[in-house]
Each structure stands twice: as C-alpha cells, then as structure tokens.
Amino acid sequence: MTHTPNDTRDRPLDDAEVALLRADFPILEQEVSGEPLAYLDSGATAQRPRSVLDVERRFLETDNSAVHRGAHTLAALATEAFEEARETVARFVGAQPAQVVWTANATDAINLVAHGLTAATLGRGGEAARRFALRPGDEIVVTEAEHHANLVPWQEVAASTGTVLRVVPVDVDGVWTLADAAAVVGERTRVLAFAHVSNVTGLVAPVEELVALAHGVGALVVLDACQSVPHRPVDVTALGVDFAAFSGHKMLGPTGIGVLVGRSELLDALPAFRTGGSMITTVTLQTAEYLPAPQRFEAGTQPVSQAVALAEAVRYLEAVGMDRVREHEEALAERLVTGLAALPGVRVVGPPAGVARSGLASFVVEGVHAHDVGQYLDAQGLAVRVGHHCAQPLHRRLGVAATTRASTYLYTTTNEVDRLLAGVAGVRAYFGAEAVA
C-alpha cells in the first residue's frame, strides 16, 4: 500500500491523498471511450487494490489447501490464514470471531437467517431453536425501500409459515422515518429487517432507535449492512442488532464471499441452512450432529482464498480510516446531490441536499430512459449503474421504471463528480428531451 502516512490519518481525505490511493488500483488507470475512466459504480462492486490482489494470489501460490481437514503443513497454514481472516473481519465490525459466519454473499447470509427461522418453525433444531418458531399471524416487517435480497427471503418465510409480511412505507422521494417504522412495528412483530443504508437513496437508517423499537416488542433485528460496512464505521455490538449481513465485493474484496454476523446465543440456537460436510461432528445413516457456530453454517468447501483477501481489504480500509472514508463520501454525495438538483429536468431521489446520506445519488432525467443516460455517460468514460437496482417496489413508489445511480468510494475524486455533473447536463439536449419538455 502506497498511501496514507501516519501523520495524515487525523485529517480529511483530500484530492491529493485520493490521487495516491488511486495509484493502488490498477483498473482505474485505463481509459474508456477514449476518456479517463471515472468509476462511479462502487455501490454495485468496488475495485480492488493491488495489495488485495497480491495477497490472494500469494496464498494460492504458497498455502492453498483445504482447511480444518488435513494434518499436513499446507493444511495447517491454510487453516491458520482462514481463521486469522475471520478474526480480522470480526474486529472490523466490533464482533467476536465466533460470531462471524462466512457465506457466499450478503444475499446468502440473509437467506441463512430466513431459512433458519422457517426450519425452527417446522420443528428443526430442537428445544434451543423454539425461540425462533413463528406462528400464523406473527408479523415480519420490512421497508418499501429494501433491496430484493432483504425482501424476497422474507416473502418466502411468510408464505412457508403463515406469518404476515408488513411494510414500512416510503414517501414520494423514497424516504422513510423512525416514526413510519413505529407505526408498523407492533406486538405481533417477530422480525424487523431493513438496510442500514439504502442502495438507491443513500438514506442512513437510525439503527439504534430501530433496534430499541424492535427489541421492545421482542422482535429480532436483521440488518442489511452491504452499503454501510464498506463506507462508514460500523460496530454491530454497539448497534445492538441481532444479525447483520454484508458482502466482500463491495468493500475492496473478492466476489464469492459474504459475512453474516450474529449474536452468539442466537447463532448457537439457529438451525443450519445448508447441510453436508465440514459442519458436523457425528453422522450415522439416520442422524447427524452439528458443530457449534460458526462452523455449523459453513457446509462444504469454504471460500478460503476469498476470506484471506477480504481480510487484506479490511486492513487497507483500516489504514485509511473509516471515519475519513465516511466523511469523504458524504462530502462527495453533497456535491452530487446539489449539482444534480440544480440541473433542469433532473430529479434526485432520496434525502435532499443538506441531509446526510451515504456517497451515492440516484436520479431521473426527464424524457430520457435511464439506460440511455447510462450509455451516454459511458461514452464519456463515466461508469454508472442504471435500472431498478434490485429495488422494484421502491421504484414503483417513485413512479419510475429505473433510475441512474452514481456511487462513490475512497478512490473517487471531486473532478470525477464534476465530470458526471457536466455529462448529465448534456443528456436532455443530446436526446432532444428539452424540445419535448
């Protein structure tokens, strides 16, 4: 890593230091459509620094082996690296190693919890799992702004158990409040599932207050932390959530690995989602006994090199400083929202300028489909996300089929934001939408 001398870590990130950071990311050195690449799609997948790429390659070249299985030297080295990675990630989010379960991604992590509740309702898991059993008429609460990964699993739980899925509504800008949640959460609520940060609006949810609300009626809290853990300091223990899920590929790490963090007493009682090898103690032809958490949820061949690389991504973020990452992105978001809102015919969804949001902004250009906006910007070297961002109900409430989303990260410069604003300013004239308006 070539950046962040010790004497700068108490100061905000500026363009000079961001330029040093960018030198760590080989992919950012290229041009697209003859223009320098401005990668503004980190909300979907973040880029990886050389140190992360190098650590995974080095592991594969020198230590690659199955973990928790062999007695030979490589197996021991691989197992040590694998569990050290778990410790590193756990520390990063304020948890203990036994509370960190490796999953395929955040969607997989949320499904692990959802299917565990269904299994408990069907009588699996024994006496310890009865605390998770759902009854007809019990309620699961989500928000209208959720990513499909934190909505569809709960639809399936409701359909399988006879519970009722209730929804916290959003307003015309896609925003919801603690008061909106309080109007829906009630004595029948058994689960409250919501995103810490919306992947469409950038809204930052009041997690601690929502935890108090849910726990006040005996409900579990499942936090989608995909857009928060990579971008701001997150301490799951301090927040008080019961489960939290996030993905490696959104935080400078590899694809194919996610994390479920859970309270220890809950993980130890939750029935396993997947079954097979690696997560059992004793197997007969009729029955099986499972290892304690977290191994009981890690059936099959584990994502070993991915875990090692994710730990290096965590070390990279820690070296920069997560408070500095958050401050940098919030400043870029303010610049984005203020600039976009000033453009004729452009509607920004989510919190207005002046209200803290994460470092992303989704917008609609009047008279131009989001896909056309994205292609026009791509021709200028500007990589953005277009579509419904796996949040169709939210877009339905917004009254649009799709939005264009620009999302930032620690390697994003103010110049790239300004290039985006200049690009969006030319969209309506290029497509003749000004004449239509």
Instruction: Enumerate the active-site residues.
Output: 390
**Angstrom distance (rounded) from CA 269 to CA 243:** 13
Answer whether 388's CB lies under 8 Å from 148's CB: no
Q: 377 in helix, strand or coil? A: helix
DSSP bridge partners of 23: none
- Please give the Cα distance from 412 to 248 (Å, whole number): 19
DSSP 108-149: HHHHHHHHHHHHHHTTTTTGGGGGG---TT-EEEEETT--GG
State the virtual CA torsion across 334, 335, 337, 343 in degrees, nearest 10: 160
User: First vs last Cα of the chain: how many Å apart?
Assistant: 50
Q: What distances in angstroms separate CA 232 from CA 239, 343, 374, 433, one per listed residue?
A: 13, 29, 27, 38
Q: Which residues of 58-86 are buried (b: 16+ CB within 10 A; e: fewer)?
A: ebeeebebebbeeeeeebebbbebbeebb
Instruction: Tell me the one-letter amino acid at 98.
Output: A
CA distances from 298 to 154, 293, 368 (A): 22, 9, 46
Adjacent-strand bridge partners of 41: 407
